[in-house]
Amino acid sequence: MARIAGSSGPRTEEAIRRAGLSLIATHGYAAMSLRQLAAEVGIQQGSLYNYFRNKQEFLFDLIRGHMLDLHAALDAALLPEGSAEARLTRFTEFHVAYHVERPQEVFICYSELRSLEPDNLAAVVAMRRDYERKLGEILDDGRATGEFHLADTRMATLAILAMLSGICTWYKPGGRLSTDGLQEIFTGMVLALARGETQALARGEAAETVAVPARRRGALRAGIG
């Protein structure tokens, strides 16, 4: 990635941001060296410190910035009123579109929580709780009105978010499905899940206990040492 010599602060900052997102999403925060990052941007490693105080702060800025964007975008997209089904549909459409639009940032926000120092982690977790709460309220409302039949709205919240957020682990631009197509398919699945009401039927048919066998022995390379 060649670079025009000379000063160009804002452009450099944006280039660092983009290169960082890409490198962290691909290799992980701990595995990305600042030398790699600088090379990708086309500057020297020491110059990075004009843009952050240390590597941890860089990660936190990326994640916090994304969370702020996400919340602002969600608040703008959500329906303030309407049926729970309509609101859940809107939530799902938004969530899918956002994940398709910025898969790297979303992925990092899940996968690099472990790399945040305690204070930074706490700040991000609080924002994430808030996001979960907004979905949880829709599900609770829908259960109260009888639109949804969920055994456990907290589990449903986690299940729906995991299902939708999984998109950023496999989505590639230019794939078989458009954003619209993905929204329609996932909206259908989420609504079906929330409407539920048929939980008990099939379970009796296969309700023997499913045991998980014990771990194999000698897991590490046999024959060494």
Partner DNA sequence: GTCTATAGAGAGATAGAC
Partner DNA sequence: GTCTATCTCTCTATAGAC
With beta carbons less than 8 A apart as the criterion, state whether 67 and 130 touch: no
Contact flags string 178-207 toward a second copy, x per CB under 8 A: ----xxxxxxxx-xxxxxxxxxxxxx-xxx
Using the rule CB under 7 A, which residue among 17, 22, 28, 45 binds DNA? 45
When CB distances are held under 5 to 8 angstroms depending on the partner's kind, the choice from DNA, a second copy, none that residue 155 binds is: a second copy
Q: Which is nearer to a second copy, 3 or 14 (CB)?
A: 14
When CB distances are held under 5 to 8 angstroms depending on the partner's kind, the choice from a second copy, DNA, none that residue 115 binds is: a second copy
Rounded to the nearest whole angstrom, what is the least distance from the CB of residue 159 to DNA in the complex? 36
Using the rule CB under 8 A, which residue among 77, 121, 123, 127 binds a second copy? 77
Using the rule CB under 8 A, which residue among 38, 39, 97, 123 binds a second copy? 97
> For residue 214, which amino acid is it?
A
In the chain, what is the straight-line distance between the N-terminal and C-terminal CA atoms, in Å? Answer: 46
- What is the CB neighbour count within 10 angstroms for residue 183? 19
* Residue listed under structure tokens 């410190």: 49
Q: How far is CA 49 from the centre of its chain?
A: 28
Read off the tokens for 123: 């700040």
When CB distances are held under 5 to 8 angstroms depending on the partner's kind, the choice from a second copy, DNA, none that residue 122 binds is: none
Q: Which is nearer to DNA, 1 or 201 (CB)?
A: 1
Q: Burial, 139: exposed, middle or buried (Cβ in 10 Å; 0-12, 13-18, 19+)?
A: buried
